[in-house]
Structure 1
Amino acid sequence: MTLTCKKLLLLLLLPLIALGGAAAQALPSIASKTAGMKKFNGFFPFYWDEQTGKVWLEVDKLDHDFLYVSSLPGGLGSNDIGLDRGQLGGQRIVSFKKVGPKILLVQPNLRYRAITDNQNEARAVEESFAQSVLWGFKAEAASGNTVLVDATDFLLQDAHDAIGSIRRANQGTYRLDASRSAIYLPRTKNFPKNTEFESTLTFTSDNGGNIVRSVAPNTQAVTLRQHHSFIELPDSGYTPREADPRAGYFGISYFDYATPVNENIEKRYIARHRLHKKNPSAKVSEAVKPIVYYVDNGAPEPIRSALLDGARWWNQAFEAAGYQNAFRVEVLPDSADPMDVRYNMIQWVHRSTRGWSYGASVMDPRTGEIIKGHVSLGSLRVRQDYLIAEGLLAPYEDGKPENKAMMDMALARIRQLSAHELGHTLGIMHNYDANNNASVMDYPHPQVQLDRAGNIDISKAYGTSIGEWDKLAVAYGYQHFPKGTDEKKALDELLAQGRARGLTFISDTDARAPGGAHPTAHLWDNGTNATDELLRVLEVRKKALQNFSEKNIKPNAPMSTLEDVLVPIYNFHRYQAEAAAKLIGGMRYTYALRGDKQLVTEVLDKREQQKALDAMLQTISPEVLTLPENIIALIPPRAPGLGNSRELFPKRTGLTFDPLAAAQSSADFTLSFLLHPERASRLVEFGSRHNTLSLQDITNQLIDKTWKSRRLDGLAAQVQLQNEQLVLTHLMALAQDENASYQARAVATSALADIRQHATSQAKRTRDAGYKAHLDFALARMDKPEEVKPTKTLQLPPGAPIGDGIFGCE
């Protein structure tokens, strides 16, 4: 078969066509592609194209691990939704991988590793668990081993998941609008060890919720700013320190599949900054490189000085650990960026309502080394403490200046809060077993005293220095031992010495559980004994209510604002009541290790539990809950423009002040702890093993103090009837609660039978129409237990945070 001339010519031209096609597909040089653009040199060089609004990134470190951190420098201003100014987001080790024309940003799975020199063993683990490709770029230009990619879409994504945060708060379904989003150049910068990008992102919706409406100028278009940081990973000069559950540190953990079978496969290391002594053998030495924090220059005075003072308390702990000038706090220079990884920050954050403060960190996920500490302090918190002081002191006497003690108390709290949140960024967890200022990592309630004359004294409301536990924690995390020291043994000895001084650690899970059992681990309590402190706090509350008058608000303030001041005073005992409840069905315990000679568990004796129950029953007595007429008469409906808010008492009376609703929410709060299903089940179980308080003791005394108590008159009688219905509600709920043990439900059912018998008998005898209606209503309710829903009772106005919050929050 012969070829035609046409086919022969085609065959001869094919190589030339292929060569021409390859030439046509060759990437341009980076210099030619970026001609006319502004270059930013640094960790990852990048270019800004003013004509197109694009950012072009030079990827000159292929297959090179670095840290990628997203954050939120421009927030929404709502505590309920979150999305605060300065909020840190995800932190991930990533690397760029080139696959043909694609550049993939890959996140390895560091939760599962094989720490070994055997590459095949390491590969087996790597291939057993998924990785994540965070983004795919296209190579647009190249010079040598460096490629250029268009990073614009990556930088304009919702990396912080603002859409998800708003959706989870049931505040609408938002979408990112690319036409209203752009690179934010003032915060897009480059440095030798970190590259910083920032974007303005606009989210749109047709169904924005009321919370969004309260903080955004337009719910249909919510504009935030998000930040991206590419950060060089620390060098190998950091040595991870093993975690100990008794030491109270955050940290990292991972599974090391190269671990011998007879050892624990999960490895845990604490989070801490790198800090070395210049002379590890010296008792006192300067640091090779001190830890420096910066206070937000946007915080006003006198708050800024209080933030500086409180944060500097930590230097006491570092000095106690043998460091000199190793910890400093300064004001952020005007030229610095708070989101720059080089600056440890204490940031002053504004919201529309008071809310949590928190301490977060940028951490090396490989080792636990803290690269950047970042504290966010809610600006309205100081005003909440000032409000409490106004309620306690009734300070506004005509013709007299404001009481300076109020501002002193509010600033004292800010100092303590600054120290507390900074402690989290040092790696230290909450310690709720540290009353009487043993740790700034506890949550402090204002320590209010009655002086010898019986007057309220707030001069020592909060601590003024670092605590002894904090010094021990810093020594554990940051002590630099001389070469040759058995570090594990030395650290164990440190903790043993602390225990000998009464310094122990109990953290969030134990303290926050509403059915909790630890007798000293509580949020916002004081004193060494929760029951004694509750009785003392009730006396302070009583005195403050006796003094309550129009002098609790400034001259010419609307009288209806007295309710704002009354709320924290009426509920002044709420946290101490929660603390005392944990003694009922309580058990002492520690995070003991085998062989450390600590107490493991010990159920509280019956007398201690009964004393706590007696105090708790006082909190639901009509004497405590009934507001006097002179206070009720002072509070009119809200003045125009003020409106109602969740910070006020609940109401069932429309516009008028409702003292019964205030009493109901407080009594319900107490009963929710006394008859919590976990506590009830524990009382049954402990009672079967020890001579201690039983669930029957609780129910019998509750019924005696409410249903079977002497009948009262007036408003106190209405509080009494209300309490009886609440006791009935909680007992019916416990009897039906499948989370409670069978016997706990049986005891609750028996208590209901007792109430039924009593109510039936009283209904036949009474001539009081109102009381009979109450009894008949209770009997009718017991016939329909499925309709009882304790969650539908009135809730207390929010109390937390009066001072600090969840892991790393206040």
Structure 2
Amino acid sequence: MKRISILLFILVYCAICNAQFSNKYSTFKKFDGLFSFFYDDSTDKIYLEVTDLEKEFLYVSSLSSGVGSNDIGLDRGQLGKTRVVYFKKAGNKLLLIQPNLKYRALTNNALEKQSVEQAFAKSILGGFKIEEEANGKYLIDITSLFMQDTHGVANKLKNTAQGNYSLDASKSAFNLERTKAFPKNIEFDVFLTFKGTAKGRYISSVAPTSGLVTVAQHHSFVELPDNKFKKRSYHPRSGSFMFSYYDYATPIEQDIHKRFITRHRLQKKNPNAAISEAVEPIVYYLDNGTPEPVRTALLEGGRWWNQAFEAIGYKNAFQLKILPADADPMDVRYNVIQWVHRSTRGWSYGASVTDPRTGEIIKGHVSLGSLRIRQDFLIAQALTNKPFAKSDDNNNKMLELALARIRQLSAHEIGHTLGFAHNFAASTNNRASVMDYPHPQFKLKGKNIDFSGAYAEGIGEWDKYTVAYSYSDFKEDKNEDEELKKIIQKAQKEGYRFISDRDARASGGAHAYAHLWDNGGNATEELNKVLKIRAVGISNFSIDNIKEGQPNSVLEDVFAPLYFFHRYQTEAVTKLIGGLDYNYTVKGDQQLTVKAVSKKEQQEALQSLLQTVNAEQIAIPKNKLSLFPPRALGYGSTRESFNGKTGISFDALSAAETAADMTLSFLLHPQRASRLVQQKSLDSKQIGLHDVLDQLINNTFKKSYKDTYLDEAQQNINFRVLYYIKNLAASKSVHPKVNAIANFKLQELKDRFLDRNKPYALEVVNRIEHFQKHPELFKPIVSPKIPDGSPIGMECMTN
């Protein structure tokens, strides 16, 4: 009897111990993984089981299905924020807390750590009532965390002027097909519907009902990596992205701001071997919905990176495969390349989920815009001499060019997710990096344009240095900092430079040798070549640049990228004017710190640029204008088309004005004008703003043509010159000397035309006098918008 009582007691005790939560949850669908959770389909709620309080994990949010507009910027596969979080009990709630990892105290002194933690704010991301508690386990209704606009969709729609939207909970629900549990991560997917009144054309063009916009937001809870990852020091010439924080336990004589690079975890199986496989290779997966021949091109281009890993002694360390059919691209276990569709051409980008504690890249996520390849095909179509004269199937040459570009695109965006930044100086050094923006490099063969070698193939020599810096293994008897320094020094000795985004932009950037989408070691010489190629392309252009049965008006869209073919090399050349040559130097590296571009180079650049505001060079030849009739019904103009002021007819004068405006907006940028004033003050022999304006006026206002079409085109260009001089005269963000010189030139122009009794001269005088009397009323006068060029390439994002 006693034995029976003991047995009954044990059974009852075990039943109590094993009891989890009340029976009402037994009817819910259960998911077991990193956390266990229940789904109640009668209420569309998620109940999360929390066992380990104050144990940190990663919370990653993203957008699993998007809006489909590049201008709005809400794409399928877009990563959101990555946060370290933990649950903490407070009364009858569990709080989801995000600690502040920007400010730390890396010390064994607990009180010192606590003082820093208490000094800076935390963020509580949610508070959830404890529904039940059993044996140290807590059950909470976590639905509210997921049924909110975590990705900021409503704000994005508002900020892009598409209307005021708010979340409509009645039209939102969990997507169980993409809600899953795994041992090291759990995934939640939610359909969210936003209700509002559409005001912008972007949302109206992509949403079937513009007042109801439904997207899917994704949420991942992920186990944090172990503490064996070793951070690597950042160097401004490493070519890597920087990850940083402030360590308040740092000795006073050292820098409190700690800088490291972001990178994947990679180790050799045999550290002492010259060539070894990786303990765990870096494996990327290509979207299985990518069509051929794009799929093969993306695989080929992406796999170039293995060349760089082989150069540092790894075998098959980087791999690229097709995403398994049963895998979710938003699952953080997969590095993914997604083929993203939008209604318009847009940026491709590489994003990463990184451990906020260490900078370790946990997931690389590439988004490639699917319309990019069609634009590259169109560029090739425009540059090919009569491609469809004999057959509409003559596509191979154009397709090969487009696929060559896509291989580059794949390598470039994967590079961002491996931890690498843009290197816009690489194009001046034999196309040394896939992390530059590549512009096709053509050659002339008689009256034809040669496409061979338009894009480089394979990984660049600079890219091998970035991989070496980020991923090299060093033997235990070697000092890592010294070995990294040797890599930097070797790259410098072999002439490889690294200059990234901020310094390369045409407006604010001033670096003479770092540009977007340029080619060649000498930007000026390359512009002259590009203008010759453009001229040959325009001369060859004919009805045979479109296929049989296509409306003639489609020719305009094929012609646009050819007409503006010089735009990016023009940007590069403008940066030589008032430009600087400099490096990201550190003390003791014996590099050039900074110097002005020589007067000779600036003068040559200016002379080349002046061609692009010359009607004889830039105006569309009259014998080509009959190719561009008003648009056929059903084939209206798009953002890729020319814009004008003549209604439905093709506006050739506005085309020339728009092309010239592009040059002038860069050349007479207020920051460049101020740099020219400073440059002249430091070296009286250098060119200054006064010199630039003199030469510009001599080559615009002082030119005239017997041909009335060319003369009218030049006058349109001249009014753009006048506008930009007035802009410098009125600007409040320039050195006063800029205002003075610009005002002086306006007076000179006024005096020049004052006694001429012709409509053009009178209008010049009228505009100057009005400005002089009421400079406070000066407003931008916008030229017809240039057809979309950017985004022609890529953009990076990191998390």
Per the shorter chain, which TM-score range? over 0.9
For the 8 Å contact 1:76–1:215, the answer to whether it is kept is yes
Of 410, 413, 417, the residue aligned with 1:418 is 410
Task: State how far apart, in whole Å, the 1-side matches of 2:394 and 2:766 are.
Answer: 51
Q: 1:338 to 1:773 in 2, by over 3 A?
A: same
SS at structure 2 position matched to 1:205: strand
SS at structure 2 position matched to 1:360: strand
Matched, 1:714 2:708: yes
Matched, 1:401 2:401: no
Q: 1:758 to 1:246 in 2, by over 3 A?
A: same
Task: State how far apart, in whole Å, the 2-side matches of 1:275 and 1:405 are.
Answer: 40
The match for 2:791 is 801
Q: 1:808 to 1:643 in 2, by over 3 A?
A: farther
Q: 1:757 to 1:675 in 2, by over 3 A?
A: same
Please state how far the C-alpha of 1:629 moved relative to its aligned partner: 2.0
For the 8 Å contact 2:353–2:798, the answer to whether it is kept is no
Task: State how far apart, in whole Å, the 1-side matches of 2:719 and 2:78 are.
Answer: 45
Of 432, 448, 464, the residue aligned with 2:442 is 448
The match for 2:573 is 580
The match for 2:70 is 79
235-244 or 206-215: which moved more?
206-215
Matched, 1:254 2:245: yes
Match of 1:707, as an amino acid?
A: F
How many residues are treated as equivalent by the alignment? Answer: 776
The match for 2:4 is none
Deviation string 1:238-288 (CA, Å, 9 cap, x unpaired) is: 000011111121131111111111111111111000001122222221111
Task: State how far apart, in whole Å, the 1-side matches of 2:131 and 2:395 are.
Answer: 68
Match of 1:432, as an amino acid?
A: F
Task: State how far apart, in whole Å, the 2-side matches of 1:306 and 1:132 are.
Answer: 44
Please state how far the C-alpha of 1:352 moved relative to its aligned partner: 0.2
Of 325, 334, 339, the residue aligned with 1:348 is 339
Please state how far the C-alpha of 1:150 moved relative to its aligned partner: 1.0
689-698 or 492-501: which moved more?
689-698
Task: State how far apart, in whole Å, the 2-side matches of 1:791 and 1:137 are.
Answer: 55
RMSD over equivalenced CA pairs, Å:
1.5
For the 8 Å contact 2:59–2:82, the answer to whether it is kept is yes
The match for 1:147 is 138
Deviation string 1:39-60 (CA, Å, 9 cap, x unpaired) is: 1110011112222222111111
Please state how far the C-alpha of 1:785 moved relative to its aligned partner: 3.7
The match for 1:13 is none
Task: State how far apart, in whole Å, the 2-side matches of 1:380 and 1:661 are.
Answer: 27
Task: State how far apart, in whole Å, the 2-side matches of 1:789 and 1:323 are.
Answer: 60
For the 8 Å contact 2:348–2:367, the answer to whether it is kept is yes
The match for 2:425 is 433
Matched, 1:221 2:212: yes
579-588 or 637-646: which moved more?
637-646
Match of 1:420, as an amino acid?
A: H
Please state how far the C-alpha of 1:29 moved relative to its aligned partner: 4.5
For the 8 Å contact 2:564–2:659, the answer to whether it is kept is yes
Q: 1:43 to 1:313 in 2, by over 3 A?
A: same
The match for 2:750 is 756
For the 8 Å contact 1:68–1:230, the answer to whether it is kept is yes
Match of 2:98, as an amino acid?
A: Q
For the 8 Å contact 2:726–2:742, the answer to whether it is kept is yes
What is the correspondence of 1:20-59 to structure 2 with a 5 Å cutoff? 29-59=20-50
For the 8 Å contact 1:636–1:657, the answer to whether it is kept is yes
Please state how far the C-alpha of 1:806 moved relative to its aligned partner: 5.4
For the 8 Å contact 2:180–2:186, the answer to whether it is kept is yes
Please state how far the C-alpha of 1:751 moved relative to its aligned partner: 1.3
Please state how far the C-alpha of 1:165 moved relative to its aligned partner: 0.9
Match of 1:32, as an amino acid?
A: N
Task: State how far apart, in whole Å, the 1-side matches of 2:182 and 2:724 are.
Answer: 61
Task: State how far apart, in whole Å, the 2-side matches of 1:800 and 1:776 are.
Answer: 36
Match of 1:198, as an amino acid?
A: D
The match for 1:364 is 355
Deviation string 1:695-720 (CA, Å, 9 cap, x unpaired) is: 11101101111112244422111111
Please state how far the C-alpha of 1:61 moved relative to its aligned partner: 2.0
SS at structure 1 position matched to 2:96: strand
SS at structure 2 position matched to 1:754: helix
The match for 1:19 is none
The match for 1:203 is 194
Of 313, 321, 327, the residue aligned with 1:322 is 313
Of 572, 582, 606, the residue aligned with 1:589 is 582
744-753 or 258-267: which moved more?
744-753
Please state how far the C-alpha of 1:459 moved relative to its aligned partner: 2.3
Q: 5+ residue gaps in structure 2?
A: 1-18
Task: State how far apart, in whole Å, the 1-side matches of 2:560 and 2:198 are.
Answer: 34
Task: State how far apart, in whole Å, the 2-side matches of 1:459 and 1:238 are.
Answer: 44
Of 473, 481, 485, the residue aligned with 1:488 is 481
Task: State how far apart, in whole Å, the 2-side matches of 1:800 and 1:608 are.
Answer: 27
The match for 1:68 is 59
The match for 2:285 is 294
Identity of aligned residues (%): 52
The match for 1:22 is none
Match of 1:688, as an amino acid?
A: S
For the 8 Å contact 2:67–2:215, the answer to whether it is kept is yes
What is the correspondence of 1:549-560 to structure 2 with a 5 Å cutoff? 549-560=542-553
Task: State how far apart, in whole Å, the 2-side matches of 1:808 and 1:751 are.
Answer: 46
Of 111, 119, 126, the residue aligned with 1:120 is 111
Please state how far the C-alpha of 1:31 moved relative to its aligned partner: 4.8
Match of 2:414, as an amino acid?
A: L
SS at structure 2 position matched to 1:67: strand
Task: State how far apart, in whole Å, the 2-side matches of 1:447 and 1:808 are.
Answer: 30
Match of 2:669, as an amino acid?
A: H
Q: 1:531 to 1:225 in 2, by over 3 A?
A: same
Deviation string 1:563-585 (CA, Å, 9 cap, x unpaired) is: 11111111000000000011111
Match of 1:798, as an amino acid?
A: D
For the 8 Å contact 1:430–1:808, the answer to whether it is kept is no
Task: State how far apart, in whole Å, the 2-side matches of 1:308 and 1:29 are.
Answer: 48
Task: State how far apart, in whole Å, the 1-side matches of 2:321 and 2:162 are.
Answer: 39
Task: State how far apart, in whole Å, the 2-side matches of 1:31 and 1:497 are.
Answer: 67
Matched, 1:702 2:693: no
SS at structure 2 position matched to 1:442: coil
For the 8 Å contact 1:684–1:744, the answer to whether it is kept is yes
Please state how far the C-alpha of 1:675 moved relative to its aligned partner: 1.0
SS at structure 1 position matched to 2:657: helix
Deviation string 1:506-558 (CA, Å, 9 cap, x unpaired) is: 00000125132211100000111110110000000000100111111111111
What is the correspondence of 1:727-742 to structure 2 with a 5 Å cutoff? 727-742=721-736
For the 8 Å contact 1:208–1:219, the answer to whether it is kept is no
Match of 1:684, as an amino acid?
A: V
The match for 2:457 is 464
For the 8 Å contact 2:723–2:781, the answer to whether it is kept is no
Task: State how far apart, in whole Å, the 2-side matches of 1:788 and 1:183 are.
Answer: 54
Task: State how far apart, in whole Å, the 1-side matches of 2:542 and 2:766 are.
Answer: 37
Task: State how far apart, in whole Å, the 2-side matches of 1:802 and 1:363 are.
Answer: 28
The match for 1:100 is 91
What is the correspondence of 1:163-202 to structure 2 with a 5 Å cutoff? 163-202=154-193
For the 8 Å contact 1:66–1:230, the answer to whether it is kept is yes
The match for 1:8 is none
Match of 1:553, as an amino acid?
A: I
Deviation string 1:187-228 (CA, Å, 9 cap, x unpaired) is: 000001001010111111133432111001001211110100
Match of 1:588, as an amino acid?
A: D
Task: State how far apart, in whole Å, the 1-side matches of 2:548 and 2:776 are.
Answer: 51
Q: 1:661 to 1:808 in 2, by over 3 A?
A: farther
For the 8 Å contact 1:178–1:202, the answer to whether it is kept is yes
For the 8 Å contact 1:33–1:141, the answer to whether it is kept is no
For the 8 Å contact 1:664–1:719, the answer to whether it is kept is yes
Q: 1:502 to 1:808 in 2, by over 3 A?
A: farther
Match of 2:62, as an amino acid?
A: S
